[in-house]
Chain A
């Protein structure tokens, strides 16, 4: 299996504050990996380090056997943040087009409308962000992250501010979108603070401890794919949820 993201002994200090300690793990091709931990443990910082938005103090990070910098330059990362961060002066379609404009791929005009269909917003292309619900806004931000064909999707608590019903639905949709034929995404790294969500979505859950954030344990989730809501009633699922809860205690 090809390694997509590889972290070795990564350390991060904010001045004198030790934020991340000796982080080592891999994300392989085709894997969905969740990072979970108590609030303030440096989950977001870790994701930003992987995506090249924050530098690290020690250790090494390789992306597809190259540097983070070259992966960023090569536009390999699609980011989805906790807030949808849509530009309020652009309608849905224009928001999805934003990365294409920046990459000067304006002729790829069929992509945004295709993505709108995939995220189920084809009737809303002319709507402005303030006319959409929180869930719909987050769908737009996912479509935007996919629009330029990145291979690595980095998600920072993307559904954290949504209600449970919307979150469950978007979880299933994200897995479906990932498996779409046209999908360019080879791996997803997903930060969350919800234990059930991490188990339901992932192949691997990385459990971080509180300050300084260190890998406490890496839990393999060997539930079958494709995942359906029924899995949540299986014994195995419940055991895994309990197991991670115990580690977090």
Chain B
């Protein structure tokens, strides 16, 4: 039984590895036999060696972007948590601000980014703001849902102890909402990286978005590919960190 489990796990991890390797090999093969121009589609080996050669510089720029994303993420989610709590306590406030929340959410971040640069300057401030703006909404929406989705019988149980509203909040609503919050945090972790990169597109002199943009101007497609890879790594890394924390805190949930 135990051995079988290991086998299944191994299969699950190895299958995607083999598939990706296969794709890379086919890509390499097709590009080299067709002599496709490098500025359009470089070969994986070329990208990979460029990645290693420029690793320190790439790491620096990725670090900047990840920093902007994380700071924005933290600010936005602390704010979103408190707003979600206020919304669940007062239906009137929620009703009043709900259209505003929806309007902000549906406005594309790319449309807002120039304004953010105007307000927060062209340094990391505007990127943090962009990251915060996109990672804000999933937490509000899911947070309100989590705080309000309470089992009727659990509420009856607390009422039978004559529990106060504050006790019901601290001992029932809050822990009950954690799985919902973490679901949102995973989404907003990935989104915050996007927000930071979009912020960098509008005006920056460092960060992974800046590298992508400048390499386009200079037709440095290989460099662009390495930057794209790093941005993907940054997003996955952040998502992974949040997932690990989730498993520790929301341990009762089956994943």
Q: Which residues of A contact B (CB under 8 A)?
A: 48, 51-53, 72-73, 75, 77-79, 81-83, 85, 87-89, 98-99, 101-103, 128-130, 148
Given A79-B156, A87-B175, is A99 in contact with B252 using a C-beta cutoff of 8 Å?
Answer: no
A85 touches B167 (CB 8 A): no
B161 touches A87 (CB 8 A): no
Given A89-B252, A102-B167, is A79 in contact with B160 using a C-beta cutoff of 8 Å?
Answer: yes
Given A89-B175, A98-B171, A130-B252, is A75 in contact with B156 using a C-beta cutoff of 8 Å?
Answer: no
B172 contacts the other chain (CB 8 A): yes
A79 touches B162 (CB 8 A): no
Residues of A within 8 A of B153 (CB): 81-83, 85
Q: How far is the CB of B156 from chain A (nearest CB, A)?
A: 5
Residue of A nearest to B164 (CB): A102
Q: How far is the CB of B176 from chain A (nearest CB, A)?
A: 8
Q: How far is the CA of A51 from the CA of B156 in the complex (A)?
A: 10
A101 touches B151 (CB 8 A): no
Interface bin, chain B: 20 to 34
The residue that B161 contacts in the complex, of A48, A83, A128, A148, with Cβ under 8 A, is A148
Residue of B nearest to A79 (CB): B160
Cβ < 8 Å to A, chain B residues 5-32: none
Pairs across A and B, CB under 8 Å, 14 listed: A48-B156, A52-B159, A53-B160, A77-B160, A78-B160, A87-B154, A87-B175, A89-B175, A89-B251, A99-B161, A101-B171, A102-B163, A102-B171, A148-B161
Residues of A within 8 A of B154 (CB): 85, 87
A53 touches B156 (CB 8 A): yes
B162 touches A75 (CB 8 A): yes
**Nearest 8 CB-CB pairs, A to B?**
A88-B252, A79-B160, A102-B161, A85-B153, A81-B153, A102-B163, A99-B161, A89-B175
Residue of A nearest to B157 (CB): A85
Q: How far is the CA of A79 from the CA of B156 in the complex (A)?
A: 9
Residues of A within 8 A of B172 (CB): 87
Q: How far is the CB of A88 from chain B (nearest CB, A)?
A: 4
The residue that B156 contacts in the complex, of A73, A81, A88, A128, with Cβ under 8 A, is A81
Cβ < 8 Å to A, chain B residues 163-201: 163, 167, 171-172, 175, 178
B158 contacts the other chain (CB 8 A): yes
Q: How far is the CB of B118 from chain A (nearest CB, A)?
A: 45
A128 touches B252 (CB 8 A): yes
Residue of B nearest to A103 (CB): B161
Residues of B within 8 A of A78 (CB): 160
The residue that A79 contacts in the complex, of B157, B167, B251, B254, with Cβ under 8 A, is B157
Q: Which among A75, A81, A82, A148 has the highest number of chain B CB atoms within 10 Å?
A: A81
Q: How far is the CB of A108 from chain B (nearest CB, A)?
A: 14
Residue of A nearest to B249 (CB): A89
Cβ < 8 Å to A, chain B residues 206-227: none
Q: Which among B157, B163, B171, B251 has the highest number of chain A CB atoms within 10 Å?
A: B157
Q: How far is the CA of A218 from the CA of B4 in the complex (A)?
A: 59
Residues of A within 8 A of B167 (CB): 102
Q: How far is the CA of A51 from the CA of B163 in the complex (A)?
A: 14
Q: How far is the CB of B154 from chain A (nearest CB, A)?
A: 5
Residues of A within 8 A of B157 (CB): 79, 81, 85
B120-153 interface code vs A (CB 8 A; 1 in, 0 out) = 0000000000000000000000000000000101
Q: How far is the CB of B207 from chain A (nearest CB, A)?
A: 39
Residue of A nearest to B250 (CB): A89
Residue of B nearest to A150 (CB): B160
Q: How far is the CB of B147 from chain A (nearest CB, A)?
A: 15
Residues of A within 8 A of B151 (CB): 83, 85
B162 touches A73 (CB 8 A): yes
Q: How far is the CA of A51 from the CA of B175 in the complex (A)?
A: 26
Residues of B within 8 A of A102 (CB): 158, 161-163, 167, 171
Residue of B nearest to A104 (CB): B167
Residues of A within 8 A of B252 (CB): 88-89, 128-130
Given A81-B153, A85-B154, is A51 in contact with B171 using a C-beta cutoff of 8 Å?
Answer: no
Residues of B within 8 A of A81 (CB): 153, 156-157
Q: How far is the CA of A99 from the CA of B252 in the complex (A)?
A: 21
Q: A87-B172, A89-B251 are in contact. List 7 more A-B contacts (CB 8 A).
A: A48-B156, A52-B159, A53-B159, A73-B162, A79-B157, A81-B153, A81-B157
